[in-house]
Amino acid sequence: GTEWSAINQATFLAGNLAEPSNLTVSELMYNPPGPSENLEFIELVNLSGTETIELGGSAFSTGIQFSFPINTLLPPGARLLLVSDEEAFASRYGEGLPVVGQYDGLLDNGGEQIVILDAAGNVILDFTYDDGRQWPAGADGGGRSLVNRGPDMNDALSWRDSDLLMGSPGERDNSEFSGIPSADDDGDGIQALLEYATGGNELSPDSIWASPSISQSSDGHLEILMNVNMRASDIDLTLEKTLDLQSWEPLSGFKRIAIERDPSQGSARVIYRATSPTTQGASTQFLRLRASRR
C-alpha cells in the first residue's frame, strides 16, 4: 500500500510584514483616570505612506499579551487599537473605531517595557514608557493619554500629553509642517520651519521662541533653555556648538535636567545643564538651534 505523510500545516503571510521601519505605537492610555483600568488602549500606526502591512503572526510579548490574527492588514497611514476591555471602551468612545481586539494583562501605571515581536521572533518594537520625572504628568491618571512624537520611544521628550481629554483613539494626534521651510512671511528674521519647530508663530513677529537662551546657575553651571513645539513629530531639533562659526558639532557636556510642559499650548521648555562648571579663561563658544525634517 501507499503511505502518506501527515498533512503539514503551514501559514503563509503575504505582502509587506510589520517591521521596525513601518510600525509604531502612536498613543498609549496606560493610566486612565479613576480606579478602573478598563479604558486603557494602545494605538498603532502604519508609518508607510504607500504600503499596506500585515500584522498577522506578530505579538506583544512583554507588558501585555496579544497575538495578531492572520490577515490583520493595516493600510498606509492607518491606525488600529488594542484595548483592555472592549465593552467598556465601546461605551465610552463609541462603536466604529478600528479596535482589533482585547489584550491580556494591563499596562502598568508605573511604566513598563513593551515589546512587539514578528512571527519569526524578530523585534519590531521595544521601548519602556515611564510615569516619572520629565514624563507627561497628564497621562499618569490625569485624563490624558501618552502621545508619541519622536522616534526614540525610551526618551521622555518623545512623548507628550494628548491635546484631548481621554485621548484620540483611532485619530491622528500630531501636526506636520506645511509650507516653505525658508519662508519668513512675518519678517521677524526667523524661518518658517524654525518657528514651527519651536512653537513660534509665522504669522506674527516673535523672536524669543526660536533662539535658545543661556544663563548661568548660582553654582557656575551654564544652562540652556530651548522651546519645543511638542505637537511637531516631524522635526528634529538639535543644539550645536562651534568655536570658529564655521564647523558646527552637536552640543556635548550638557545633560537635560527638565522638560517644562505646557499642554494647553502644545509646547515645552527644555532645559540642559552643563555637567561641569564654567572655567575661567575658557574660549568663546557659539550655540545654535537646528531644525530639520525627519
27 near Ca ion, rule: CB under 5 A: yes
Residue 118, C-alpha cell as written in the block: 514578528
Q: Which of 19, 51, 163, 188 binds Ca ion (CB under 5 A)?
A: 188
112 near Ca ion, rule: CB under 5 A: no
Residues 233-292 that bind Ca ion (CB under 5 A): none
Strand ranges in 14-161 using DSSP code E only, listed in sequence order: 16-17, 23-29, 41-46, 53-54, 59-62, 66-67, 73-74, 79-83, 99-102, 113-117, 123-128, 146-148, 159-161
Q: Which of 13, 16, 33, 37 binds Ca ion (CB under 5 A)?
A: 37
Q: Which helix (H) or strand (E) holds 214?
A: strand 213-216
| Residues whose CB falls within 8 Å of the CB of residue 96, separated by 6 or more in sequence, listed in order | none
Closest Cα to residue 205, out of 221, 189, 225, 181? 189
130 near Ca ion, rule: CB under 5 A: no
Q: How far is the CB of 54 from Ca ion (least distance, A)?
A: 22
Closest Cα to residue 227, out of 219, 245, 235, 171? 235
> DSSP assignment of 223-288, as one string?
EEEEEEETTB-SEEEEEEEESSSSS-EE--SEEEEEEEEETTTTEEEEEEEESSPPPTTPPP-EEE
Whose Cβ is closer to Ca ion: residue 67's or residue 168's? 168
126 near Ca ion, rule: CB under 5 A: no
Where does this chain touch Ca ion (CB under 5 A) — which range of 113-121, 199-207, 232-240, 266-274? 199-207
168 near Ca ion, rule: CB under 5 A: yes
Where does this chain touch Ca ion (CB under 5 A) — which range of 7-15, 32-40, 66-74, 132-140? 32-40
Q: How far is the CB of 65 from Ca ion (least distance, A)?
A: 14
186 near Ca ion, rule: CB under 5 A: yes
109 near Ca ion, rule: CB under 5 A: yes
Q: Which of 51, 163, 206, 240 binds Ca ion (CB under 5 A)?
A: 206
Where does this chain touch Ca ion (CB under 5 A) — which range of 152-160, 206-214, 228-236, 250-258? 206-214
222 near Ca ion, rule: CB under 5 A: no
190 near Ca ion, rule: CB under 5 A: yes
107 near Ca ion, rule: CB under 5 A: yes
CA distances, 51 to each of 76, 117, 183 (Å): 5, 20, 32
Whose Cβ is closer to Ca ion: residue 101's or residue 105's? 105
d(CA 159, CA 147): 5
173 near Ca ion, rule: CB under 5 A: yes
CA distances, 1 to each of 4, 6, 67 (Å): 10, 16, 43
19 near Ca ion, rule: CB under 5 A: no
**Binders of Ca ion: how many residues, by CB under 5 A?**
19
In degrees and rounded to multiples of 5, residue 197 shows phi and psi of -65, -30
Half-sphere exposure of 67 (CA within 13 A, CB side): 6
Residue 49 is given by DSSP the state S
Where does this chain touch Ca ion (CB under 5 A) — which range of 111-119, 123-131, 166-174, 232-240? 166-174
210 near Ca ion, rule: CB under 5 A: no
Task: List residues near Ca ion by CB under 5 A.
Answer: 27, 30-31, 37, 43, 106-107, 109, 168, 171, 173, 184, 186, 188, 190, 195, 200-201, 206
